[in-house]
Structure 1
Amino acid sequence: MEQFYLENNLKYQSLVGALDPCPKPRISNGMPGPTMVVSVRIRPLSKSEGFPSATFPRSSQKNVVDIHDLYNHPRGTPILRSNDYQVDRLFHSDSTTEEIYEDLVAGLVLFAWNGGIGTLFAYGQTGSGKTFTISRLEELVAETLMNGNLEGEREIYVTIIDLAGNAAFDLLGDREPISLLEDSCGITQMVGAVEHPVLDVEDMKALVERATSFRRTAPTLKNSASSRSHAICRIRIRNMEDGPDGLLYLIDLAGSEGARDVAAHGADRMRETRQINISLSVLKDCIRRKAQADTTTSLNRGKPGQKLPHIPFRQSALTRVLKHVFDPAGARACRTVVIACVNPSLADVGPTKNTLRFAEMLRVLPTTNETSADRKSAMHWTNAQLKEWIRANCGTPAILDSVVAPRESGAHLFNLSSTEIEYRCQKCPGVKQEQAKAFRSKLWQMYIIS
């Protein structure tokens, strides 16, 4: 595929240059959740990669990015395929880590300082800049906690662990194995991991550097020192004034990988990749269902007996540690920041779309009175109303209302199987399985609320 992109580089740039500079405004299908902010960071494009950028942030619509891919059409003429995505915050390739810190993380640190539980994690393809981002953010967090400008007296303790599959290791204890066990209150404890007191910024930096030296890495096709495990830095902020202790989790996730990235891997590396992708898949399910739970709670505020989605956090060690993020019944106040890191290169357009699709699905559905009323009545839509909704949410290339719902009302369409809906979508020119599944997912969300 890379050779196809190289051979058609000029064709690609010509097609992109011919696009409308003011694309049709994207209709948002989500909004910032009450406890979670979803962001995307586009890393700079390296000249050594030899490919043009496929990632184009919109200047006319904040936090929306267009992805343009070149499709090797069977008829022999390459065509352009475009997708757009929207998140809560979008950081361009010229954005600095300091800007990200001020916008997203400084408030999270203050929240933890005052007794809350703050969680930050970086997700993305191998080589997309996750470790680079987290490493600098850890330094900025240390400076904020230690500069003496925050009110109140606190003590700082740091624990850093490594998760490889379902095995856990203490990175500040010479990579000794530890256990992840739930206590009587249902809180996951890192049994065997040592908490280290931190007295100043240099202490914190030294601990992070020591942990990095013990972290599990290996060369891959995309990265000569790819992280083969999830690193979790937990900062406990002990309140010396009889208030609750705050917790701040800074998580550098192992890089997700596709088939192209693992083609040259041996058996051990393939096994690691499978474990990484399984844990990331469980993480996606947990965060997505937590967003659905937040939406259900806000839509049914005050109504007894509401049923919340099941959140499978016990299916991996990573999500057991992060139970506080997903548990709708948790007693502690929690806030979460997601930084999805993407590579802008055309050669990585597939993983980039996967990462952006993941990030976009974490945003909760709109909960304004007008939108809630419209969605609650979706089961009773006429064919004309249903077609109007399809046209507004069809994506690019367009999913045709006359093909998906030629005669059906809302109730009739929601009663169709997932396979039938996706089949109808793929009958539309240019629509592939991924877009059909995304569209069907929107219909499913409509059905849940209705």
Structure 2
Amino acid sequence: MDRFYLENVAKYHSLLGRLDPTPRPRVSTGKAGPNMVVGARIRPLPEDEDFPSAIFPRKIEKNVVDIHDLYNHPKGIPILKSFDYEVDRLYGQDSTTKDIYQDLVTDLVPFTWNGGIGTLFAYGQTGSGKTYTVSRLEEFVAEALMEDNPAGEKEVYMTIIDLAGNAAFDLLAERKPISLLEDSLGTTQLVGAEEHLIHDKDEMINLIHSATSFRQTAATFKNDASSRSHAICRIRIRDPATNSDGLLYLIDLAGSEGARDIASHGADRMRETREINISLSVLKDCIRIRAQADTAAATSPDKTVPYVPFRQSALTRVLKHVFDPASTRPCKTVVIACVNPSLADVGPTKNTFRFAEMLRVLVPPVGKTEYDPAVPMTWDNAQVREWIEKNSGSTAILPHVLAPRETGAQLLALSDTEFEYRCQKCPGVKLAQARAFRLKLWELHVDAQHGKKD
């Protein structure tokens, strides 16, 4: 197929030039929920790449891409086949990992710091920049945790394991085998894995680099060292004062590739590929069911808790508490689908976007609510920021820190600890002021609910 593409590059460009510059718009059926975001990253096309780009982000419709494939028609005349996909966040070839961190991951750090469970998955074909993206995000998280902590000491622990099929290994102990055993409460424990107490940023980054060197890899046509296992970095933040903790998972999923990408087609490699595909399929089901349960709970609190098939894969058994809809702990999940724009990789790229679209759980649109300055539930983000700026007091609570993207309803949904934590990130703001400001917002909300408007 690569030869067909190379022989018809000029034809491909010619067909692209005949396309309608205004493709049919996609009809959105809702927007992303507050606890689940699916993004996609398009890696830069290498300068020495022989194939043209097949991915074209739309300029008018944000987060929508067109993919144009060259089809080898039986009549011998190459034709163009076009596909379009949509995600919640799209990062083009000019985007940096820092952009992705600030947009998708930065909120997971305070969320975890305050006792929540935050999870990031990176998925994609080998050679799509997936492992590079996760490694850089892990470094940004290390900097945020160890350098930007608010007043008050908490303990930060880190464990990094490798899952290859049903086998598990400790990447911080030179790939020592460990066991996955379920305790009396139904939680899968990593028996034998070392949990390292982190003292500073450099120590954390050094451990991350050390773990990367012990990943299970194998050669493919696309990558001399393709990840053939799931790497799970678990960061546990313990509060000694309350004996509670938050969990942040940063997960580099095994590289997905078709049979044409595999350099060796032995029985072990084929079985390995089959196990990876099964685990990714189960993961997709678990993520979707949990996201659907969260959306349903917000609209129908009495709805029956759905069944989540987490026992069907070692990966999802380890992450059971991330997917358990009966859990009372708040969870937020981010998925980043990494793709290579090359025409030669158009097949795996379409599969990656299909996987990303299947993970999206959209909240149905509701009728537009008329803005009322006395009713916080009607505020958009700009109106939230305006209210914060006017009402925070002499020691300013910065609107972009407290509500970087939240609407009034989402600001009210923040836990008291997360609300107060964000306020205290502003210079000079103390806990008492943060609590008083949250109380002021809630008094306004309660008055609005009872029809008392000033």
Normalising by structure 1, what TM-score? 0.78
Q: Which residue of 2 aligns with 1:35?
A: 35
The answer to whether the 8 Å contact 2:306/2:325 transfers is: no
Q: Which residue of 2 aligns with 1:321?
A: 318
CA–CA separation in structure 2 for the residues paired with 1:7 and 1:307? 57
Alignment of 1:6-405 (within 5 A): 6-242=6-242, 244-262=244-262, 264-299=264-299, 301-302=300-301, 304=302, 306-369=303-366
Secondary structure of the equivalent of 1:49?
A: coil
Structure 1 unpaired stretches of 5+: 372-450
Secondary structure of the equivalent of 1:260?
A: helix
Q: What do you get for the CA RMSD once the two structures are aligned?
A: 1.8
Q: Is the alpha carbon distance of 1:159 and 1:40 closer, same or farther for their aligned partners in structure 2, counting shifts above 3 Å?
A: same
For residues 84-121 of structure 1, give each alpha carbon's deviation from its aligned partner in whole angstroms, at most 9, with x where no partner exists. Answer: 11111000011000111000111001100111110111
The answer to whether the 8 Å contact 1:340/1:359 transfers is: yes
Q: Which residue of 2 aligns with 1:424?
A: none
Secondary structure of the equivalent of 1:294?
A: helix
Stretch moving more, 351-360 or 237-246: 237-246
Secondary structure of the equivalent of 2:244?
A: coil
Which amino acid in structure 1 is aligned with residue 168 of structure 2?
A
CA–CA separation in structure 2 for the residues paired with 1:151 and 1:219? 47
The answer to whether the 8 Å contact 2:35/2:291 transfers is: no
Which amino acid in structure 2 is aligned with residue 210 of structure 1?
S
Q: Which residue of 2 aligns with 1:438?
A: none
CA–CA separation in structure 1 for the residues paired with 2:174 and 2:263? 32
CA–CA separation in structure 2 for the residues paired with 1:149 and 1:113? 9
Q: Which residue of 2 aligns with 1:422?
A: none
Which amino acid in structure 1 is aligned with residue 115 of structure 2?
G
Secondary structure of the equivalent of 1:161?
A: strand
Deviation at 1:293, TM superposition (A): 3.0
Deviation at 1:263, TM superposition (A): 6.3
Structure 2 unpaired stretches of 5+: 369-454
Deviation at 1:291, TM superposition (A): 3.2
Which amino acid in structure 1 is aligned with residue 143 of structure 2?
E
Which amino acid in structure 1 is aligned with residue 202 of structure 2?
E
Deviation at 1:5, TM superposition (A): 0.9
Which amino acid in structure 1 is aligned with residue 364 of structure 2?
T
CA–CA separation in structure 2 for the residues paired with 1:18 and 1:354? 26
CA–CA separation in structure 1 for the residues paired with 2:29 and 2:166? 35
State the identity as a percent.
Answer: 71
For residues 382-410 of structure 1, give each alpha carbon's deviation from its aligned partner in whole angstroms, at most 9, with x where no partner exists. Answer: xxxxxxxxxxxxxxxxxxxxxxxxxxxxx
Normalising by structure 2, what TM-score? 0.78
CA–CA separation in structure 1 for the residues paired with 2:293 and 2:148? 38
Which amino acid in structure 2 is aligned with residue 329 of structure 1?
A
CA–CA separation in structure 2 for the residues paired with 1:237 and 1:351? 37
Secondary structure of the equivalent of 2:257?
A: coil
Secondary structure of the equivalent of 1:47?
A: coil
CA–CA separation in structure 2 for the residues paired with 1:340 and 1:29? 21
Alignment of 1:398-417 (within 5 A): none
CA–CA separation in structure 1 for the residues paired with 2:13 and 2:287? 37
CA–CA separation in structure 2 for the residues paired with 1:151 and 1:39? 33
Deviation at 1:230, TM superposition (A): 0.7
Which amino acid in structure 2 is aligned with residue 107 of structure 1?
D
Which amino acid in structure 2 is aligned with residue 244 of structure 1?
S
For residues 112-151 of structure 1, give each alpha carbon's deviation from its aligned partner in whole angstroms, at most 9, with x where no partner exists. Answer: 0111110111001111111100111111100001114434
CA–CA separation in structure 2 for the residues paired with 1:218 and 1:263? 9
Q: Is the alpha carbon distance of 1:79 and 1:196 closer, same or farther for their aligned partners in structure 2, counting shifts above 3 Å?
A: same
CA–CA separation in structure 1 for the residues paired with 2:202 and 2:263? 41
Q: Is the alpha carbon distance of 1:57 and 1:151 closer, same or farther for their aligned partners in structure 2, counting shifts above 3 Å?
A: farther
Which amino acid in structure 2 is aligned with residue 363 of structure 1?
R
Secondary structure of the equivalent of 1:25?
A: coil
Which amino acid in structure 1 is aligned with residue 275 of structure 2?
Q
Secondary structure of the equivalent of 2:66?
A: strand
Q: Is the alpha carbon distance of 1:3 and 1:308 closer, same or farther for their aligned partners in structure 2, counting shifts above 3 Å?
A: farther
Deviation at 1:79, TM superposition (A): 1.3
CA–CA separation in structure 2 for the residues paired with 1:280 and 1:30? 25
For residues 54-79 of structure 1, give each alpha carbon's deviation from its aligned partner in whole angstroms, at most 9, with x where no partner exists. Answer: 00011111111111111111222211
CA–CA separation in structure 1 for the residues paired with 2:154 and 2:102? 22
